[in-house]
Every structure is written in structure tokens, then in C-alpha cells.
Amino acid sequence: MSHMEWTSEESGIRLDKFLSTVSDLSRTRVQELTKAGEVFVNGTAEKSSYKVQVGDVVSCDIPEDAPTDIIPQDIPLDILYEDEDIIVINKPKGMVVHPAPGNPDGTLVNALLYHCRDLSGINGVIRPGIVHRIDKETTGCIVACKNDEAHRSIASQLENKTCHREYMALVEGNIANEAGLIDAPIGRDRKDRQKMAVTEYNSKEAKTHFRVKERFGKYTLLDCSLETGRTHQIRVHMKYINHPVVGDDKYGHKCPLMDTQGQVLHAYRLTLKHPRTGRKMSFEAPLPEYFEKLLTILRAQQ
Amino acid sequence: MTVALIIAAVVLILDQITKFLISSNMVLFEDIPVISGFFHITYVQNTGMAWSMLSGQQFLLSLAAFIAIGVMLWVLIYRKPDAVTTVSIGFMMAGAAGNLIDRLMFNYVRDFLNFYIFGYDFPVFNVADIALCIGVGLLILDAFIEERKEKTQ
């Protein structure tokens, strides 16, 4: 059970709408919680239709997800590195990192549970070993932790930037500059809660450095380095500069040349300091087959 | 001539050693506060020139550095400059060469010295940048002194 609290700065908004804007919860989830009597305004349980006033203290008790047993599954993994503390995997396309509603199994966590006997427990039963995520349709390096010390170390490294990821992204259009820095804050899209967007409202600083690797006229291959790690950061930033990631039908368009099954984005390098030895280590995942194939098609068209 | 080359060699080696140590021990964007809020060591890869001007014009920048080094060598050999100019050329050559090496090898320059002065985050720089500034500074100083001498005469 976790307890959260907000003070309203606005008036006349429905309680469920207010809560879904300030929290990470969906409107449906908020309505469920309100029905269950877990949402309080100034200490009393209120209905979803309650109109929030300035200064109202809205609090909410969120029950932990029912401890669903995650089954270990024998899913083949492309392991780039493994020792007793960490495991680095080249995540294939379409694999979800951890179970979520609608995706109870077949995830990286299921595969890891089968492969490793031990995973760090800090992130709860749903996300054992997981310190950072990669989108479902994105491929490439992801690190998981086998014990709590390693988990704490990598988590703090992600915070203070000693754990770093670099991506290859194919974007639409011909980018004018050879290199650049996109410095624009990212938050939840106010129009569509399923999306993120560059916004000044409830957003966090986000910085993406990019360098052109190859030009194909209508497309550009970029090497991206992230100074921050927001949800969908590269996809949102590329859309923001009007060069959405190819195949990204959420923020851009489907790829007309081949079925890419989502964004053409690959985390090709992961650099971190080993939690035990403190040594700087770098792991590289080769471009997936479909990505190479697409590049071959584009080169042939030139 | 020899003085300039010795200065250039020493500064260039210092520049490359520090860059190597930083890039092999620090993760990109890692930040080590030495004097918190004033001097940090932050590893960044700069694709532009000083202050990130002309970002992305790698080829132009490399060409400019080549020409600059060529001109400086020519001055050293054929113009036999005075002591101050010679020393200043030594520093400037090291500065140009230090960052040229980075551009040719990596397509970016490894920067790591990060100062915050009066709340302003001064651009991250490196030893080659310092050498370049010292060189240019000496040259300007020299010009001022020369001018004064001429006036008093």
C-alpha cells in the first residue's frame, strides 16, 4: 500500500480528472480507486464527480498489485554479458520488459526468472532485477541486476549519469545539421495520456545529443546520446524537431518501405561502472537484421 | 623554432593523456564535483568548436586547424618571430593539434573541465582550449607592448 498526497491549485475540476493529471494513474484506475473508497479529499472519501477546489488536499491509497506469480519461461535470450551481479541482454523486437496489464507473460522478466536463479527484489515481485526499461518495439542493450547491491548501484548510476545508453535511430527527412542537442522538457501529453510530449506543464528536463551517421535523402541515420532518460525521450524529441523516428506510428508514421513493427530504434551501446569492481564497462549490441535490411534498401535507392 | 616545438609537444602530450584518462575512466556525461557548484569534471563529447559554435561543421573545422598549423609552421621557419610570438605559436599549435586529433579520430572533441562562474555554466573545455587561449592571449599582450614601445620611442 502506498500513500500519495496532492494539494490542488485549481478549482472546479472533477476529482478523477484532477487525480489522473497529477498522478501517473489512468482515469479508469482513478475511478476504480474512488469507487473502492481509497481517494480522500481533506480526509473524507469522495466520489469521482466531486469538484476539486483550490487548497483541497487530495490523498490516495494505492493498494499493491495482487502478487501475481510470474512464471519462469524458457524464452531464448541474447546475452551480451553475465556475471554474479549483472546481466546485459540484447532485447529483441516486440519483447516487453516486465509483465503489465495485457501482457502477463512472455516478458523479459519471465525469461530472466528462468535463466537466472536470483534477481534483485527491490523493484517488487512484478519487476525483479529491472532497473531501467526499453520500449517494446525498441531493440538493444538492457541491464538487469541479480542482487540488491548491484540494483542500488545501477539505479544511482542512472541517476548520476554513470550508466549511459547510446542509440541508433532512423528518422524521417534530411536533418539540416551534422550534429546537435535537443534540450526540451518532456511530460505527459495533456491531450492524450497514453503519449508523452514536449511541454512546460508537469515536465522534466530532457536532453538528447545527436550526430548524423548516414544520409539517405528522405531519411537520416542518427547516433543519439541521452543526457537524461525520460519515457519515449528519443521518439518525442525527434517528433518535436519534425523528424519522427521511422516506423513510429505513435509519434510519426508507419514505414512505407517495409514492416518495421514499430520505431526503427536500437540501443546499440550501454556503458556503466561495474557495481562490484567500479571498472568502466561498455557493451554493444549489433543492429538487428530488419534494421540492417532497411539500411540496405535505402542505400540501394540512393 | 625548437622552443615552440618543445612547448607544442609537451602541451599536446598533456592534452592527449588527460583526454585519454577521462574517456577511459568516465562514462559520457558523468559529472564529478571537485569543488561543488564551482569546478566539476564533466565528460562531454563536443561536436562543434569553442562554445559549440559552428556545431557539426567537422570538415571545415578540421581544414581550418590544418591551415592554421601550416601557417604557424611557415611563420616559425621563414619569419623568425620574436621570443613571445614563438612561445605563443607553440601554445596555439598544441591547442589546434590537440583538438584536430580528436576530430579526425572520433569526429568530436573530448571536453571535461566544467566551471560555474557566478551561477553561469561556463562551456566545458579541455587542455588544448587552455593552450589556445594562452597562445592568443600572449599574442595580444605582445602586440600591446610593442605598440607602447613604439609610442615612447
Q: How far apart are CA A185 and CA A237, in angstroms?
A: 9
- Nearest-by-Cβ selection for B25 from A157, A179, A280: A280
Please, which residues have CB within 8 angstroms of residue A295's CB and are 6 or more apart in sequence?
Answer: A170, A214, A221, A287
Let me know if residue B12 belongs to a domain.
yes
Is B29 a residue whose pLDDT tops 70?
yes
Please give the grid coordinates belonging to residue A6: 496532492
Confidence band (pLDDT; 50, 70, 90) for B49? very low
| A30-49 residue pLDDT tens | 888 888 888 888 888 888 88
Q: A278 contacts in B (CB within 8 Å)?
A: none
Measured in degrees and rounded to the nearest 5, phi and psi for residue A255 equal -80, 125
pLDDT > 70: percent of chain A: 97
Closest CA to A98 of A123, A63, A66, A115: A123
pLDDT, residue B51, reads 44
Q: Within 10 Å of residue B106's Cβ, how many Cβ atoms?
A: 13
**Average pLDDT rounded to a whole number, residues A111-125:** 80
Does A213 contact chain B (CB < 8 Å)? no
What Å distances lie between residue A71 and A17, A75, A126, A177, CA to CA? 36, 12, 11, 48
Instruction: With a threshold of 0.85, tell me whether the complex ipTM lies above it.
Output: no
**How many whole angstroms from its chain centre is CA B132?**
4
Least confident of A199-203, A212-216, A282-286: A199-203
**How many whole angstroms from its chain centre is CA B129?**
3
Q: How far apart are CA B116 and CA B104, in angstroms?
A: 30
Is A236 a residue whose pLDDT tops 90?
yes
Q: B27 contacts in A (CB within 8 Å)?
A: 157, 161-164, 271-273, 280
Check: CB of residue A134 under 8 Å from CB of residue A98.
Answer: no
Is A278 a residue whose pLDDT tops 70?
yes
Q: A160 contacts in B (CB within 8 Å)?
A: 30-31
| B71-102 residue pLDDT tens | 999 999 998 888 999 999 999 999 999 999 99
Let me know if residue B74 belongs to a domain.
yes
Greater confidence (A131 vs A104) lies with A131
Let me know if residue B153 belongs to a domain.
no
Least confident of A125-129, A160-164, A255-259: A125-129
Does A274 contact chain B (CB < 8 Å)? no
Is B34 a residue whose pLDDT tops 50?
yes
User: What 3-state DSSP class applies to A48?
Assistant: coil
Is B54 a residue whose pLDDT tops 60?
no
Mean pLDDT of chain B: 88
**Average pLDDT rounded to a whole number, residues A195-203:** 91
**Average pLDDT rounded to a whole number, residues A9-15:** 84
**Average pLDDT rounded to a whole number, residues B124-138:** 95
Let me know if residue B19 belongs to a domain.
yes
Half-sphere exposure of A174 (CA within 13 A, CB side): 5
Confidence band (pLDDT; 50, 70, 90) for A17? confident
pLDDT, residue B11, reads 97
Chain A residue nearest residue B24, CA to CA:
A280
pLDDT, residue A87, reads 95
Which amino acid, one-letter code, is at A89?
I
**Average pLDDT rounded to a whole number, residues B8-31:** 95
Is B50 a residue whose pLDDT tops 50?
no
Q: What is the pTM of this model?
A: 0.78
- Provide the residue range defining the domain that includes B20: 2-148
Please give the grid coordinates belonging to residue A186: 518532456
| A55-89 residue pLDDT tens | 888 888 776 655 557 888 999 999 999 999 999 99
- Nearest-by-Cβ selection for B27 from A163, A177, A180: A163
Please give the grid coordinates belonging to residue A273: 561502472
Let me know if residue B135 belongs to a domain.
yes
| A178 contacts B55? CB cut-off 8 A | yes
Is B111 a residue whose pLDDT tops 60?
yes
Please, which residues have CB within 8 angstroms of residue A108's CB and are 6 or more apart in sequence?
Answer: A77, A89, A91, A95, A96, A97, A98, A130, A142, A144
B91: left (phi over 0), alpha (psi -120 to 50) or beta: alpha
| A227 contacts B48? CB cut-off 8 A | no
Let me know if residue B139 belongs to a domain.
yes
pLDDT, residue A63, reads 67
List the catalytic residue out of A135, A189, A192, A223.
Answer: A135
**Average pLDDT rounded to a whole number, residues A2-9:** 80
pLDDT > 70: percent of chain B: 93
For Cα atoms A134, A139, A143, give the angle at the middle one, nearest 5 degrees. Answer: 55
Q: Within 10 Å of residue A124's Cβ, how many Cβ atoms?
A: 12
Please, which residues have CB within 8 angstroms of residue A131's CB and are 6 or more apart in sequence?
Answer: A123, A143, A144, A145, A151, A154, A155, A158
pLDDT, residue A65, reads 55
pLDDT, residue B46, reads 85
Which amino acid, one-letter code, is at B21?
L
Report chain B residues touching chain A, CB-CB < 8 A: 24-31, 45, 47-48, 52, 55-58, 107-108
Does A194 contact chain B (CB < 8 Å)? no
Please, which residues have CB within 8 angstroms of residue A2's CB and are 6 or more apart in sequence?
Answer: A61, A62, A64
Q: How far apart are CA A173 and CA A26, in angstroms?
A: 34
**Average pLDDT rounded to a whole number, residues A208-216:** 93
Q: How far apart are CA B134 and CA B138, in angstroms?
A: 6
Q: How far apart are CA A208 and CA A224, in angstroms?
A: 7
Pairing type for strands A44-45 and A51-52 reads unpaired
Mean pLDDT of chain A: 89
Is B55 a residue whose pLDDT tops 60?
no
Q: How many structural domains compose chain B?
A: 1
pLDDT, residue B59, reads 77
Q: How far apart are CA B53 and CA B153, in angstroms?
A: 42
